[in-house]
Structure 1
Amino acid sequence: MTNNVYKFQRGDGSRKALNAAPEPVTDKAPSRSGLAKKAASGIVKTLWFVVALVWPFLRWVIALDVVFQGLAMVWHWDTPGSHAGWTFALHFAVLVALTFFVSVFKPQGVK
Protein backbone atom coordinates (compact mmCIF):
# COMPACT_ATOMS: atom_id res chain seq x y z
CA MET A 1 0.00 0.00 0.00
CA THR A 2 1.37 3.40 -0.91
CA ASN A 3 1.46 6.49 1.22
CA ASN A 4 -0.74 9.21 -0.34
CA VAL A 5 0.15 11.96 2.10
CA TYR A 6 1.69 14.99 0.47
CA LYS A 7 3.93 17.16 2.60
CA PHE A 8 3.91 20.85 1.81
CA GLN A 9 6.65 23.25 2.69
CA ARG A 10 6.09 25.32 5.76
CA GLY A 11 7.03 28.90 5.34
CA ASP A 12 6.82 32.10 7.29
CA GLY A 13 4.12 33.39 4.95
CA SER A 14 1.54 30.87 6.11
CA ARG A 15 2.19 31.57 9.78
CA LYS A 16 2.04 35.32 9.25
CA ALA A 17 -1.29 34.97 7.48
CA LEU A 18 -2.71 32.88 10.31
CA ASN A 19 -1.49 35.23 13.05
CA ALA A 20 -2.44 38.47 11.31
CA ALA A 21 -5.33 40.43 12.80
CA PRO A 22 -8.27 41.07 10.48
CA GLU A 23 -8.79 44.59 9.25
CA PRO A 24 -11.58 46.48 10.98
CA VAL A 25 -14.77 46.87 8.99
CA THR A 26 -16.26 50.33 8.92
CA ASP A 27 -19.97 50.90 8.59
CA LYS A 28 -20.68 53.53 6.02
CA ALA A 29 -23.92 54.69 4.50
CA PRO A 30 -24.79 53.27 1.09
CA SER A 31 -23.64 55.55 -1.68
CA ARG A 32 -25.83 57.02 -4.40
CA SER A 33 -24.56 54.49 -6.91
CA GLY A 34 -25.45 51.67 -4.50
CA LEU A 35 -28.99 52.97 -4.16
CA ALA A 36 -29.27 53.35 -7.93
CA LYS A 37 -28.08 49.77 -8.44
CA LYS A 38 -30.54 48.50 -5.87
CA ALA A 39 -33.42 50.42 -7.49
CA ALA A 40 -32.44 49.19 -10.97
CA SER A 41 -32.22 45.63 -9.64
CA GLY A 42 -35.71 45.93 -8.15
CA ILE A 43 -37.12 47.28 -11.41
CA VAL A 44 -35.50 44.48 -13.44
CA LYS A 45 -36.75 41.87 -10.95
CA THR A 46 -40.31 43.25 -11.16
CA LEU A 47 -40.18 43.42 -14.95
CA TRP A 48 -38.88 39.86 -15.13
CA PHE A 49 -41.65 38.65 -12.83
CA VAL A 50 -44.39 40.34 -14.86
CA VAL A 51 -43.02 39.16 -18.21
CA ALA A 52 -42.51 35.61 -16.90
CA LEU A 53 -46.04 35.61 -15.52
CA VAL A 54 -47.67 36.49 -18.86
CA TRP A 55 -45.03 34.76 -21.00
CA PRO A 56 -47.19 31.85 -22.30
CA PHE A 57 -49.72 34.31 -23.76
CA LEU A 58 -47.16 36.97 -24.72
CA ARG A 59 -45.04 34.41 -26.59
CA TRP A 60 -47.96 33.53 -28.85
CA VAL A 61 -48.83 37.16 -29.52
CA ILE A 62 -45.26 38.12 -30.39
CA ALA A 63 -44.75 34.98 -32.48
CA LEU A 64 -47.87 35.77 -34.51
CA ASP A 65 -46.61 39.32 -34.95
CA VAL A 66 -43.25 38.01 -36.20
CA VAL A 67 -45.03 35.72 -38.66
CA PHE A 68 -47.12 38.67 -39.90
CA GLN A 69 -43.98 40.83 -40.26
CA GLY A 70 -42.25 37.99 -42.13
CA LEU A 71 -45.13 37.73 -44.58
CA ALA A 72 -45.15 41.53 -45.01
CA MET A 73 -41.40 41.40 -45.63
CA VAL A 74 -41.85 38.81 -48.39
CA TRP A 75 -44.75 40.80 -49.87
CA HIS A 76 -42.85 44.11 -49.90
CA TRP A 77 -39.46 42.64 -50.82
CA ASP A 78 -38.95 44.68 -54.02
CA THR A 79 -40.80 47.80 -52.86
CA PRO A 80 -38.36 50.70 -52.51
CA GLY A 81 -38.58 52.63 -49.23
CA SER A 82 -40.59 49.92 -47.48
CA HIS A 83 -37.95 48.75 -44.94
CA ALA A 84 -40.06 45.67 -44.21
CA GLY A 85 -36.93 43.54 -43.79
CA TRP A 86 -35.60 45.78 -41.03
CA THR A 87 -39.01 45.83 -39.37
CA PHE A 88 -39.10 42.03 -39.43
CA ALA A 89 -35.54 41.87 -38.05
CA LEU A 90 -36.46 44.23 -35.20
CA HIS A 91 -39.59 42.24 -34.25
CA PHE A 92 -37.65 38.96 -34.44
CA ALA A 93 -34.88 40.44 -32.26
CA VAL A 94 -37.48 41.47 -29.66
CA LEU A 95 -38.86 37.91 -29.64
CA VAL A 96 -35.36 36.45 -29.19
CA ALA A 97 -34.45 38.98 -26.48
CA LEU A 98 -37.64 38.34 -24.49
CA THR A 99 -37.16 34.58 -24.82
CA PHE A 100 -33.63 34.95 -23.47
CA PHE A 101 -34.81 37.32 -20.72
CA VAL A 102 -37.46 34.90 -19.47
CA SER A 103 -35.73 31.55 -19.90
CA VAL A 104 -32.03 32.20 -19.23
CA PHE A 105 -31.80 35.40 -17.18
CA LYS A 106 -32.65 35.05 -13.50
CA PRO A 107 -32.55 38.08 -11.24
CA GLN A 108 -30.67 37.86 -7.95
CA GLY A 109 -32.75 36.35 -5.21
CA VAL A 110 -34.93 34.27 -7.57
CA LYS A 111 -34.37 30.52 -7.50
Structure 2
Amino acid sequence: MEVNSVQINIPTGLYRDLRFSIQIAEKTRNKAFLEDDKILEFIYCDNFRIESLNEFFCLFLKSYNLIAIDKDVESYPVEPIMDAALFNMVVNGSNPALISKINGVKISSLEKKF
Protein backbone atom coordinates (compact mmCIF):
# COMPACT_ATOMS: atom_id res chain seq x y z
CA MET A 1 0.00 0.00 0.00
CA GLU A 2 1.25 3.50 -0.71
CA VAL A 3 0.70 6.27 1.85
CA ASN A 4 1.98 9.76 1.08
CA SER A 5 4.39 8.34 -1.55
CA VAL A 6 5.77 5.73 0.88
CA GLN A 7 5.33 2.00 0.23
CA ILE A 8 4.01 0.30 3.39
CA ASN A 9 3.57 -3.41 3.97
CA ILE A 10 0.20 -4.21 5.52
CA PRO A 11 -0.98 -7.51 7.00
CA THR A 12 -2.37 -10.01 4.49
CA GLY A 13 -5.74 -10.10 6.26
CA LEU A 14 -6.14 -6.32 6.02
CA TYR A 15 -5.14 -6.42 2.35
CA ARG A 16 -7.69 -9.16 1.71
CA ASP A 17 -10.46 -7.21 3.49
CA LEU A 18 -9.66 -3.98 1.64
CA ARG A 19 -9.56 -5.79 -1.71
CA PHE A 20 -12.90 -7.47 -0.96
CA SER A 21 -14.47 -4.12 0.01
CA ILE A 22 -13.13 -2.51 -3.16
CA GLN A 23 -14.57 -5.34 -5.27
CA ILE A 24 -18.00 -4.88 -3.68
CA ALA A 25 -17.81 -1.11 -4.26
CA GLU A 26 -16.79 -1.67 -7.89
CA LYS A 27 -19.85 -3.86 -8.46
CA THR A 28 -22.15 -1.48 -6.56
CA ARG A 29 -20.88 1.63 -8.34
CA ASN A 30 -20.33 -0.11 -11.68
CA LYS A 31 -16.97 1.62 -11.78
CA ALA A 32 -13.39 0.36 -11.57
CA PHE A 33 -11.13 1.39 -8.70
CA LEU A 34 -8.31 3.51 -10.08
CA GLU A 35 -4.83 3.88 -8.62
CA ASP A 36 -5.38 7.52 -7.66
CA ASP A 37 -8.77 6.86 -5.97
CA LYS A 38 -8.89 7.21 -2.20
CA ILE A 39 -9.85 3.84 -0.75
CA LEU A 40 -12.38 4.91 1.89
CA GLU A 41 -14.01 7.49 -0.37
CA PHE A 42 -14.35 4.87 -3.11
CA ILE A 43 -15.77 2.22 -0.77
CA TYR A 44 -18.25 4.65 0.77
CA CYS A 45 -19.30 6.12 -2.59
CA ASP A 46 -17.77 9.52 -1.88
CA ASN A 47 -19.93 9.86 1.27
CA PHE A 48 -17.02 9.10 3.60
CA ARG A 49 -16.54 11.56 6.45
CA ILE A 50 -13.42 11.48 8.61
CA GLU A 51 -15.76 11.54 11.63
CA SER A 52 -16.95 8.10 10.51
CA LEU A 53 -13.64 6.63 11.66
CA ASN A 54 -14.34 7.87 15.19
CA GLU A 55 -17.83 6.33 15.06
CA PHE A 56 -16.48 2.98 13.75
CA PHE A 57 -13.73 3.03 16.36
CA CYS A 58 -16.23 3.65 19.15
CA LEU A 59 -18.45 0.79 17.96
CA PHE A 60 -15.41 -1.51 17.84
CA LEU A 61 -14.32 -0.58 21.38
CA LYS A 62 -17.85 -1.08 22.72
CA SER A 63 -18.36 -4.35 20.83
CA TYR A 64 -15.24 -5.90 22.30
CA ASN A 65 -15.56 -4.19 25.69
CA LEU A 66 -11.96 -2.96 25.44
CA ILE A 67 -12.53 0.15 27.52
CA ALA A 68 -15.49 1.47 29.45
CA ILE A 69 -17.50 3.72 27.16
CA ASP A 70 -20.93 5.02 28.11
CA LYS A 71 -23.63 3.37 26.00
CA ASP A 72 -24.87 6.81 24.89
CA VAL A 73 -21.47 7.76 23.43
CA GLU A 74 -21.37 7.28 19.66
CA SER A 75 -17.88 8.54 18.83
CA TYR A 76 -14.38 7.96 20.18
CA PRO A 77 -11.19 9.57 18.83
CA VAL A 78 -8.88 7.48 16.67
CA GLU A 79 -5.96 9.77 17.54
CA PRO A 80 -4.81 7.79 20.64
CA ILE A 81 -4.28 4.71 18.44
CA MET A 82 -2.43 6.77 15.85
CA ASP A 83 -0.26 8.35 18.56
CA ALA A 84 0.51 4.93 20.06
CA ALA A 85 1.56 3.60 16.64
CA LEU A 86 3.76 6.63 16.02
CA PHE A 87 5.29 6.37 19.49
CA ASN A 88 6.13 2.69 18.92
CA MET A 89 7.74 3.57 15.58
CA VAL A 90 9.90 6.16 17.37
CA VAL A 91 10.81 3.75 20.19
CA ASN A 92 11.71 1.03 17.68
CA GLY A 93 14.10 3.34 15.86
CA SER A 94 12.14 4.18 12.71
CA ASN A 95 13.49 7.07 10.70
CA PRO A 96 11.73 10.28 11.91
CA ALA A 97 11.71 11.67 8.36
CA LEU A 98 9.87 8.57 7.16
CA ILE A 99 7.40 8.73 10.06
CA SER A 100 6.82 12.39 9.25
CA LYS A 101 6.18 11.64 5.60
CA ILE A 102 3.77 8.77 6.33
CA ASN A 103 1.86 10.77 8.94
CA GLY A 104 1.84 13.95 6.89
CA VAL A 105 3.20 16.19 9.65
CA LYS A 106 6.47 18.05 10.02
CA ILE A 107 9.31 16.47 11.97
CA SER A 108 9.15 19.39 14.42
CA SER A 109 5.54 18.43 15.23
CA LEU A 110 6.62 14.87 15.94
CA GLU A 111 9.42 16.14 18.17
CA LYS A 112 6.98 18.25 20.18
CA LYS A 113 4.59 15.30 20.55
CA PHE A 114 7.24 12.78 21.62
Structure 1 length as normaliser, TM-score? 0.23
- More helix by proportion, 1 or 2? 1
Relative contact order (C-alpha < 8 Å, sep 6+): which is higher? 1
